[in-house]
Amino acid sequence: MNTTLKIGSLAIATVSALLMAGGCGSSSTAPSDSTKPAAPAAGATLSGTVKIDGSSTVFPIVDAMGEDFGKANSGVKVVVNKSGTGSGFQKFIRGDIDIATASRPIKATEEADLKKANIDFIEIPVAYDGVCVVVNPANAAFASLTPADLKKAWADGSKVKTWADWHAGWPAEAINFYGPTDNHGTYEYFTEAIDGKKGNIRKDYQPNQDYNVVIQDVAKDKNGIGYCGLNYYVQNKDKVKAIAIDNGKGPVAPSEQTVDDGTYAPLSRPLFIYVNLKAYSRPEVKAFVDYALGDKGADAVKEASYVVLPKDVLDMVVKRVQAGTPGSIFDKAKPGTPTAQILSGAK
């Protein structure tokens, strides 16, 4: 047999063998490790779009996650916006997005609207945060406040107009109050934690949609006081001063450590993503959620200056996600309740 014929015969035999192997996909005999095909490159089998919107507070975390996940999975487009927690939930209810981000737990009314829309969801804590009360660096009147102090000044109907009204001996100068709009979860969490009722706040409070503007307002106003998420304070320590909270055990300043160990109470809180359960069945959405709860997700939390969930808490969260457990267990929890306590007590 000449060389050409030998090569041709060998090629035919090889093709036939490959075709026979390809036709054996239903075989119950798995290939040995030495014959298994190499795993596809990261993201090679994933495609589609993951749509996310909601909290401005959670935005830096999820935006970093989306960017890093997109680099590892080039076939997936992750679209992350920050219309505010309330607006994000409205889009979630309409089915416009796959994931809603939130800086406070979902409301009963929002859950009811989702039920009407036949949308089930998974509630996923992804990080810890603290709500920081900030003043102008030139303000030397005080270094700490109690929750009762905050209620006295911030509650609806408050008679506090000047620092002297708040505490005897403080300057008799008018106070200017700043913070986020009622569309923000931080607004709702702060008002409930301080006054026991969401949205209960003094009438002359000056709201702004942008946390950076709140920081700027306080930074340029020696009589200004406001509140914001921990990372906005951390990134602006040179512009504003954070006030310690004394909850009966001595003043505690906001920091990653005090938020993590729960001593910065009652203004420590979990941050959430809410995932449409039907969307979670799509490979690209599930892969993003898995990514968010993994080591790379923790890196994004740190990058955004928030606090990573402790391992015991993360393990409980992952267990609920893997089981596809729907609904909220945080909706009725009192602000400041430890996340581990809520998770461990869940059915």
Last residue of a domain, one of 260, 280, 304: 260
**Residue 256 vs residue 31, higher pLDDT:** 256
Q: Could you tell me if 112 and 144 lie in one domain?
A: no
pLDDT in tens, 110-151: 999 999 999 999 999 999 999 999 999 999 888 899 999 999
- Single out the residue in 216, 231, 260 at which a domain terminates: 260
My answer on whether 72 and 99 are in the same domain is yes
Q: Is residue 34 part of a domain?
A: no
The verdict on residue 7 lying in a domain is: no
Is there a domain that residue 137 lies in? Answer: yes
| 17, part of any domain | no
117 domain residue, yes or no: yes
228-282 pLDDT tens trace: 999 999 999 999 999 999 999 899 999 999 999 889 999 999 999 999 999 999 9
Mean pLDDT value across residues 62-79:
96
Do 246 and 193 belong to one domain?
A: yes
**Which tens digit of pLDDT belongs to each residue from 276-323?**
999 999 999 999 999 999 999 999 999 998 999 999 999 999 999 999
Q: Both 159 and 206 in a single domain? A: yes
Domain that holds residue 194: 130-260
Where residue 95 falls (left for φ over 0; alpha for ψ -120 to 50; beta otherwise) is left
174 and 196 co-located in one domain: yes
pLDDT at 142: 86
Domain end (from 260, 280, 311): 260
Query: Quick check: 28 pLDDT over 80?
Result: no
What's the domain count of the chain?
2
Tell me what the mean pLDDT of segment 205-234 comes to. Answer: 95
Q: Which residue has the higher pLDDT, 41 or 108?
A: 108
84 and 184 housed in the same domain: no
**Residues 119 and 101 placed together within one structural domain of the fold:** yes
211 and 143 part of one domain: yes
Residues 206, 307, single domain; the answer is: no
What confidence category does residue 44 fall into, taking pLDDT thresholds of 50, 70 and 90? low
Considering the domain architecture, whether residues 139 and 240 belong to the same structural domain is answered as: yes
CATH code where residue 124 lies: 3.40.190.10
Q: What is the pTM of this model?
A: 0.81
pLDDT at 45: 83
Are 63 and 80 members of one domain?
A: yes
